[in-house]
Amino acid sequence: MEMYSRLKTITVADVEKLEEQLGTKLPNEYKHFLLSTSGGQPLNNVFRKFESEKVIQEFPVDIFFGIDDNEIAGDIFSNRAVFSDRIPSDLLTIGSDGIGNMICIGIGSDNNGKIYIWYDKERELNEPILYRDIKLIAKDFSDFANSLGAENE
């Protein structure tokens, strides 16, 4: 995937530390993405989902998070901590649309590798996590990445 800008270089040791903290292995295609791009802003930054040749879902992808203690807004660890009371623990925030909605990858046994979008909606204090705010958007990271296109396509 071509990136407009990249974050701090990610090493195998960084990915292993992330997996250790999560207590699970990341899907291989997502690991490869992290190691090859380090996260950042994708050049083709609009996700489009088609059904019968019609766009049924479309949103921008502002950033893919990396692993960087100095870049809190773009760091996978920091975002996991910030959203821990709003996003289920079997989802890992891997990116943002730039307006508060998060792109997530499944890391549980039932959803491993699937890509979701979590919509940031107003909630009452201490309201439980609501799965209605989470939508499946791609069967895996490759499917998601292949659905990214240019803004004016």
Write the CATH number for 93: 3.40.1580.10
Tell me what pLDDT residue 6 has. Answer: 85
Provide the β-strand partners of residue 50.
55
| 30 pLDDT above the threshold of 90 | yes
Q: What is the pLDDT of residues 68-125, one digit of tens each?
A: 866 667 889 899 998 888 889 999 999 999 988 999 999 998 999 999 999 887 666 5
Q: What residues have CB less than 8 Å from 76, skipping those under 6 apart? A: 18, 39, 65, 66, 67, 92, 93, 94
Q: What does pTM read for this prediction?
A: 0.89
- Mean pLDDT, residues 56-60 taken together: 80
**What does the block give as tokens for 107?**
């890391």
Please count the structural domains in the chain: 1
Which residue range(s) make up the domain with 49?
3-149
Query: CB-based contacts of 60: which residues, under 8 Å, 6+ apart?
Result: 45, 46, 47, 97, 98, 151
Answer whether 145's CB lies under 8 Å from 33's CB.
yes
